[in-house]
Chain A
Amino acid sequence: MSEPAAHVVILGAGHAGGTAAALLRQYGHAGPITLVGEEPIAPYQRPPLSKAWLKGEADADSLALKPLEFYAEHDIDFRPGVRAESLNRGARTVGLSDGATVSYDALILATGARAIALPIAGKDLAGVMSLRTAADAEALKAAIGPGKTLAVVGGGYIGLEVAASGRALGAEVVVLEKEDRLLARVACPQLSDFFQGYHQTRGVRFELGCSVTGFEGKDGHVTGVTLADGRTLACDAVVVGVGAHPNDELAKDAGLECARGVVVDLDARSVTDPAVFAIGDVAHRPMPIYERMFRMESVPNALEQAKQAASAIVGRPRPAGECPWQWSDQYDLKLQIAGYAFDTTEILVRGDPAAAKFAIFHLKGDQVQSVEAINAPPEFMMGKLLILSRKPVNKAKLADPSISMKEVAA
């Protein structure tokens, strides 16, 4: 597939798709590149939408991955506002929502994931929002401020980031979570407790173990959230952040093997069709350090897989295996997470949660599987290296913050 004139078609112009297009040119791909995106604007960074951008600390230009001119200057045929509607793998063509048909030599599926909507009464009222796109973020920003009450359904990372930004903008914030703790799907109880306390001190209210049954409205706009226990909590806006679903329908309809997303190999290549790649939130990919396959929703994953696919297409060596990671900013907290806590046998806390500077290590025997670091970059950085190397650690040293991370790993 490294023939110089190969036409690469990328479906999805998010962080993964936009990066793949730019990397193909950076790696010297000379053939045509078509980048198809459903949103009306050029690829941009989503993480700031719930953080710096929402608080007014970043503008639209700084969100853009590249300036709009970049695509024309680098001979990338960027088609905004267009969806892919069909995929014919036999003919190697994609049918688009504007009626066009494009043929490809290599196809990269970078269609991402969409926010899961709650199938409950009032979900279509104005003011009930999700946060996925720049347009979503504009709507949210307009709806919150002093004197407003924001209800956040879902106590995951997006919900907590929005809660922190909402407080920074002067809104009252209540977070509704169906589990009995925050971050239940993604973090350990120690971290859940820490975040709950930190947010409560800054004025966020929590309703845990709480089942949302519907939204009430007046004149078509949301006015409250109804709960299974009969209460109604008044609010001016709602953000629903209860997870995302991969946009893999096109792939499924075309007969590509999908699990929780499109199943790919270490080159991000579909296991069903060597001419098709899938990257970012839509891919179900192997992660050798954990000897398993799964789907990740993170920018570092999108970038890594963009590198894998672009490398395979131009015939560069595959990038060295990575340690997956992600981050979150809330108030003055920088949370950096390395790895995933699979098969762990022990949790070890290093540092003092009360001082908001600590790290939680998830161990499998004496190997580090994952680390969640709060305002603790050395623990994050060294944790990442330890996860990747699979090197055993001395747990007594690791638990002692007076011993530096360099010495722990030595």
Chain B
Amino acid sequence: MAKITYIEHDGTEHAIDVKTGLSVMEGAVKNNIPGIDADCGGACACATCHVYVDEAWLAKTGERTAMEESMLDFAEGVAENSRLSCQIRVTDDLDGLRVTMPESQH
């Protein structure tokens, strides 16, 4: 279990306990957090689960995969700390993770 704080574009925070083994995307979707659409359900096919990872957590969340990299390249408002949240697997090490959602997922 890891507590993850999802921050909407307008600053609204949602702190959620997410089960180890789920993805950061699944943690948001299963708790009905607005701002992560995840149209493809985690198949890395749509880039609608884009988040900005808090700088302090970048190393722990790992590297972008090749497929993720090329999907993200075309998402709106991409930054150095952009990730597709379906590609970040939740571990106990991510307890305290903070991610912020972009203004739009399209």
Binding site for B on A (CB under 8 A): 22, 25-26, 45, 47-48, 62, 64-67, 70, 74, 299-300, 303, 320, 322, 325, 327, 329, 334, 336, 377-378, 381-382, 385, 405
Given contacts A327-B45, A329-B43, contact A70 B30 (CB under 8 A): yes
Inside 8 A of B45's CB, which chain A residues have their CB? 327, 334, 336
Q: Tell me whether A67 and B41 are in contact (CB under 8 A).
A: no
19 chain-A/chain-B pairs, Cβ below 8 angstroms:
A22-B32, A45-B41, A47-B40, A62-B26, A66-B32, A70-B30, A70-B31, A70-B32, A299-B39, A300-B40, A327-B45, A327-B46, A377-B70, A377-B73, A378-B70, A378-B73, A381-B71, A382-B74, A385-B74
In the complex the two chains form, is A47's CB within 8 Å of B41's CB? Answer: yes
B32 to chain A, nearest CB (A): 5
Q: Which of B17-71 contact A (CB under 8 A)?
A: 22, 26, 29-32, 34, 37, 39-41, 43-47, 67, 70-71
Given contacts A299-B39, A377-B74, A381-B75, 19 further A-B contacts (CB under 8 A): A26-B32, A26-B34, A47-B43, A65-B29, A66-B30, A66-B32, A67-B30, A70-B31, A70-B32, A299-B41, A320-B106, A327-B43, A334-B44, A334-B45, A334-B67, A377-B73, A378-B70, A378-B74, A381-B74
A300 touches B39 (CB 8 A): yes
| Chain A nearest Cβ from B56, distance in angstroms | 28
Shortest distance in angstroms between B30's beta carbon and chain A's nearest beta carbon? Answer: 5
Considering the chains assembled together, what is the distance between the CA atoms of A22 and B74 in angstroms?
28
Q: Which residues of A contact B47 (CB under 8 A)?
A: 381
CA A25 to CA B75, docked complex, whole Å? 27
CA distance A65 to B32 in the complex (A): 10
- Most A-side CB within 10 Å, residue of B26, B37, B70: B70
CB neighbours (8 Å) of B40 from chain A are 47, 299-300, 327
- CB-based nearest B residue for A301: B39
Residues of B within 8 A of A48 (CB): 41
Minimum CB–CB distance from A21 to chain B (whole Å) comes to: 10
Residues of A within 8 A of B29 (CB): 65-66
Residues of B within 8 A of A299 (CB): 39-41
Q: Which residues of B contact A336 (CB under 8 A)?
A: 45
**C-alpha spacing A22/B32, complex, angstroms:** 7
A385 to B76, CA, bound (A): 11
Q: How many angstroms from the CA of A22 to the CA of B70 in the assembled complex?
A: 31
Q: Which residues of B contact A381 (CB under 8 A)?
A: 47, 70-71, 73-75
Residues in B neighbouring A320, C-beta threshold 8 A: 106
Chain B residues with CB below 8 A from A70, complex form: 30-32
Top 7 A-B pairs, shortest CB-CB distance: A381-B74, A327-B45, A377-B70, A45-B41, A377-B71, A300-B39, A22-B32
